[in-house]
Structure 1
C-alpha cells in the first residue's frame, strides 16, 4: 500500500508524517508544470503536465534559435569591427558576414578608409606683433580602430584641439609677410609636423593625410596695403621667371656663337700658317735665282709689282713735253682691258711676293726695303 493512500498511517518518506504539521516537504513537480502551463495558456488538469513540459522545451529551443540568429551581422568593406567581450577588447573583425554572441559580445564598426577633415581658423598673433586671420583644413584617416575608439574619450575633438594649438604655435613664430606671401608652404609643413608631434603620445589611431593652409587675410584696416605688397612680390617672382627663361633661351645661342668663333679662329690660324709656308716655299725657290742674277731678278720683280699695282687704277699718264697735240684715247676700252687684266692676273698669279722680297733683301745695301730699285737705277733703265 502506498504511503499516501487512504487508510495508510505510515510515515511520509519526505518526513511529512503529520499532514497537519508545518513541514510540507518539497513541491510537487506536476503542480509546478501545471502552473507554468497555465501561465502559457495551457490547461492544468489531467495529463497536461507532460504536454506543458514539451511546450516549455519548444519555447526554450525557439529562444535559443532566435538568440543564435540575432548574432549575425555584417562589417562593410571600408570598415573594421572592434569586438568586446563583457567590455574587454578581444580583437578586430574583418569585413564580411560575421557572428557574435548576443548579450555577451559587442562589435563597433569604424570606417578606416574615408578621409575626414577638421577645419581650424581664427585671429592669431604673428612674430612681428600683427594680427592675421588664418584658416586651416586637416585631412586625416583612421589607422587603428581600437585606439580611435578607446584611447581617448573623443579622438576627433582631441585632433581639433591639437590642430588649433599647432597652428597658433607656428603662426606665432612667423612674420606676417611670410604668412601672407612666400612662406605659406613652409608654414603648412611646420603645422603638419607640429600636429603629428602633439598627437603622437595620445595614440589616437589617426594618420594625418594632408594639411591645407587656406589663404590668410590681414586685418581690414591694412588690407589694401598688403594687397599691393602681395602684387609687387608676385610681379617680382614673375620677372625672375621671365629672366630665367630668357637666360635659358639665350644660352644656347651664345654657346653656338662661341663655338663658331673658335672654329673661325682655328681656320684662320691654319690659313695663316699655310700662307706663311707657301711664302717660305716661294722664297726658297726665288733665293737661288736672286743669288745667281740679282739685278735681273730685282728688275723683274719690280716690273711685276708695278704691273699689279697699276693694273687696278683708272688713270692715264701722258708725257706733255714730247707730244704737242692731245691725241684721242679710248678710255672705255682701256678701262675694260684694265679690269679684265686685273681679274685674269688675280686668277692666274698667286699673291705678290713683295713681302718675301723684302724679307730676303733686308740686308742687301744695294736694294731698298720696298723691293724697288734706287733712283739712279730707274733713270739708267729709262735711258
Structure 2
C-alpha cells in the first residue's frame, strides 16, 4: 500500500520518526557511518589509537600493482628474431634472443624475424613489346637484414615490396617480346626483373635483401593457348634439330679430316710409286737400247713375245682366225675352264683345245686381212 494514499493518510517514512517531522538523511552522515562500521569490523582504532585499515589496504594495493608491473615486463625473443626497443616511442637499442625484461609503459619491444626467407608472389596479365597479352606469375624470396629500417622506413614494408614487384615485372615484360617471355628468354626476364626490383627498392631502404626470383609460369591467354603451344613446340623442335646438327657436325668433322689425311697420304704414296715405276722403265729401256742397236730383229721379236705373254695372261677371252676361212672364232676361256673344273671335257671342247694348240705362234705367218690380232700393228707400233 502506498505511503501517500488518498484520504489524508500520510505514511511518509522520513516524517514522524521519533515523534517529530524530519526530512531525508544527509549524505555526509551516511558515508561517515559506513566508514565507521568498516573500521570497527577490521579491528582498527581511531586516529589516536594506531593505523587505520584504509592505510593498510592502500599499501597492499600499491604492492600488488608494483608486482604486476614487474612481472609484466618479462618477454622472450626467439632465436630467429631480433628485438627493436622503443623508449617513449623513440628507438633505443636492439636486443638479442633470450629472456629479457623491459619497464612496462616505458619501453616497447617489436620482434622482427631476420632469418626466415619469406615469399612474395605476384601475378597478372601484361602487354608485351610486340603487343601481345601474356599472363606472368613470379615469386620473390627475400630476407630482413636490418630490423629497424624494415620497421620504420615505410609504413607497410610488405605492401611496398608487393607494389615494387608488380612494377618491376610489368616494366620488364613491357620491354620484351612474347617469344622471349614464353620460351628462350625466360631466364633473361627473371634476371632483369630482379635487377629492376632491387633498383626500385634501393631509394626506399627498407632493410631487406632479395634472395632469389622465380618465374613460376608464363602463358598466353586461354583463347589462343593452343596456337601458342604449337608455336612453342615448333621452336623446341627447331632448337632440338640445331643441337642434333651440331652434334653430327662435331662427330663427322674429325672423320672427314681423317679421310682427307688418308687420301693425301695415298696420293703421295701413288705419286712416289708411279715415279719409281717410271724411273724403272726408263732404266730398263736404257739397258735395252744397246741390245736393240746390236740385233734389232731379234730384240723386236723378243719384246713382241713378252708383250703378248702379258696380254694373254690377263684375259679370259680370245679371238682366233680359223685358218684363212674368213670366220672369226670367239673362245670364252673362262666359261670353258669353269666347265672343266666341274665336268669332264666333251669332244667339242677337246677339239677346240686341240685347235688352240695348232695355232701358229708366229704372227708373221698370219694373213694381215683376217687375223684377230695383227702382227703388223705391233710392228708398226714398235717402229
Same fold per superposition (TM over 0.5)? yes
Q: CA deviation at 1:200?
A: 1.1
- Whole-Å separation in 2 of the counterparts to 1:264 and 1:300: 40
Residue 254 of structure 1: how far off its partner (Å): 4.0
| 3-state SS, counterpart of residue 109 of structure 1 | strand
- Alignment partners' CA distance in 2, 1:291 and 1:371: 24
The residue correspondences of 1:245-324 to structure 2 (distance < 5 A) are 245-294=244-293, 295=296, 296-314=298-316, 315=318, 317=320, 320=323
Query: Helix, strand or coil: the match of 1:152?
Result: coil
Q: Does 1:106 align with 2:108?
A: yes
Deviation at 1:150, TM superposition (A): 1.0
* Alignment check: 8 A CA contact 1:124 1:134 kept: yes
Alignment-derived partner of residue 236 in structure 1: 235
Structure 1: gaps spanning 5 or more residues: 1-37, 336-369, 378-383
For 1:6-45, what aligned pairs fall within 5 Å after superposition? none
What is the aligned partner in structure 1 of residue 118 from structure 2? Answer: 116
Over 3 Å counting, the alpha-carbon distance change for 1:162 and 1:102 in structure 2 is same
Preserved contact between residue 302 and residue 371 of structure 1 (Cα < 8 Å): no
Whole-angstrom CA distance in 2 between matches of 1:248 and 1:270:
34
CA deviation vs aligned residue, 1:126-153 (integer Å, no higher than 9, x gap): 4455554443333222121111111111
Matched with 2:199 is: 197
SS at match of 1:118: strand
Offset, 1:308: 0.6
Unaligned ranges ≥5, structure 2: 1-38, 326-347, 358-375
CA offsets 1:307-363 (integer angstroms, 9 cap, x no match): 1102234437366269xxx9954639989xxxxxxxxxxxxxxxxxxxxxxxxxxxx
Equivalent pair of 1:75/1:96 in contact (CA under 8 Å):
yes
In 1, are the aligned partners of 2:88 and 2:106 still within 8 Å (CA)? yes
For the residues of structure 2 that align with 1:212 and 1:375, how far apart are their CA atoms?
91
For residues 257 and 187 of structure 1, do their structure 2 counterparts lie closer, same or farther at Cα, with a shift above 3 Å needed?
A: closer
Alignment of 1:1-383 (within 5 A): 63=66, 67=70, 71-129=73-131, 131-176=133-178, 178-219=180-221, 222-223=223-224, 226-294=225-293, 295=296, 296-314=298-316, 315=318, 317=320, 320=323, 328-329=350-351, 331=353, 372-374=378-380
- Structure 2 SS opposite 1:121: strand
Q: How many residues align?
A: 292
TM-score (norm 1): 0.61
Q: Please give the secondary structure, in 1, of the residue aligned with 2:205.
A: coil
- Would you say the 8 A contact 1:139–1:211 is kept in 2? yes
| Alpha-carbon spacing, 1:334–1:133, altered in 2? closer, same or farther (3 Å) | same
Q: 1:90 to 1:163 in 2, by over 3 A?
A: same
Task: Tell me the SS of whatever aligns to 2:248.
Answer: helix
Equivalent residues of 1:181, 1:230 under 8 A apart: no
Q: For the structure 1 residues 42 and 204, does the alpha-carbon distance in structure 2 shift closer, same or farther, using more than 3 Å as the test?
A: farther
- The verdict on how the C-alpha distance between 1:90 and 1:311 changes in structure 2, with shifts beyond 3 A counting, is same
